[in-house]
């Protein structure tokens, strides 16, 4: 094991966080592939001149993020598989994931009713991701603002178990069809650390925010979607000779 990523005890960042960052980069770059073991606790301790507890703390962060799994008799095994999504796709996250043979998972972080300029607004903050039998990986941090004048009773649904867009279709007859979104960089926050884990090597997160409309051009949802740094997205545009088509993203659903 080479040591081009030398740990620096004089940095303000703790050694375990430095080691976590180094191992994380190597996993995401494919140096440690899925199914392979990362260097053992003893090797990491000896190469970097650190304690076992420092190694264990770093590995615990990787495991929390779903990048590795400790298996008795095999060591610490990489469980990360690059996940490709297209920012061009427009549809609910639940439908999008299932269409790709993945099991979607949602964690409802907060639900509140706020005063809007013309009435009550339901605000949902959710972590969205995919799960396997062993791990779950959160890919999006979604915030949705929904007008309760149009969607009366929407706050009564369980959006950890039900798809927002499916509820709109089946209970309100509303089908989101168009979005106007702006891409920006979202800074680190307590929420991004909670959902994606520490990402000290990432200066910020891609964020798509804006409005979603139905076929009659009525506002359906105001949304802000922050994407995991492990998520690889493709951006596409098309030109029909009259006007460009706006890029779209895997909708918050």
Q: From its phi and psi, is residue 118 left (phi > 0), alpha (psi between -120 and 50) or beta?
A: alpha
* 69 and 50 together in one domain: yes
Output the pLDDT for position 85.
Answer: 53
* 183 and 212 together in one domain: yes
For residue 225, what are the domain limits?
83-234
Distance CA(9)–CA(14), nearest Å, equals 8
Identify the band that residue 178 occupies on the pLDDT scale cut at 50, 70 and 90.
confident
* 69 and 148 together in one domain: no
Total domains present in the chain: 2
Assessment of whether the complete model's pTM goes beyond 0.95:
no
Rounded percentage of the chain residues whose pLDDT exceeds 70: 81
Q: Under 8 Å CB-to-CB from 128, ≥6 apart: which residues?
A: 93, 104, 105, 106, 138, 139, 140, 141, 142, 252, 253
Give the domain CATH number at 173: 3.40.1410.10
Establish if 7 belongs to a structural domain.
no
Establish if 243 belongs to a structural domain.
no
Q: Under 8 Å CB-to-CB from 202, ≥6 apart: which residues?
A: 188, 229
DSSP 112: E
Identify the band that residue 57 occupies on the pLDDT scale cut at 50, 70 and 90.
very high
């Amino acid at each position: 094991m080479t040591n081009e990523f030398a740990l620096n005890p004089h940095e303000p960042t703790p050694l375990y966080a430095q080691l976590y960052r180094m191992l994380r980069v190597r996993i995401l770059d494919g140096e440690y592939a899925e199914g392979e073991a990362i260097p053992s606790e003893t090797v990491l301790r000896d190469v970097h001149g650190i304690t076992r507890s420092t190694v264990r703390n770093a590995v615990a962060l990787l495991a929390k993020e779903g990048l590795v799994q400790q298996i008795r008799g095999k060591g610490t095994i990489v469980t990360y598989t690059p996940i490709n999504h297209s920012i061009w796709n427009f549809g609910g996250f639940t439908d999008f994931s299932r269409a790709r043979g993945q099991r979607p998972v949602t964690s409802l972080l907060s639900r509140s009713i706020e005063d809007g300029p013309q009435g009550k607004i339901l605000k949902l903050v959710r972590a969205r991701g995919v799960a396997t039998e062993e791990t779950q990986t959160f890919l999006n941090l979604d915030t949705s603002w929904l007008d309760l004048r149009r969607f009366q009773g929407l706050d009564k649904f369980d959006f950890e178990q039900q798809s927002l867009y499916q509820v709109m279709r089946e209970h309100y007859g509303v089908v989101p069809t168009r979005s106007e979104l702006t891409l920006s960089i979202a800074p680190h926050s307590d929420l991004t650390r909670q959902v994606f884990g520490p990402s000290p090597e990432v200066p910020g997160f891609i964020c798509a925010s804006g409005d979603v409309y139905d076929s009659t051009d009525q506002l359906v949802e105001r949304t802000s979607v922050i994407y995991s740094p492990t998520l690889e997205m493709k951006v596409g545009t098309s030109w029909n000779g009259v006007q460009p088509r706006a890029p779209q993203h895997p909708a918050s659903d």
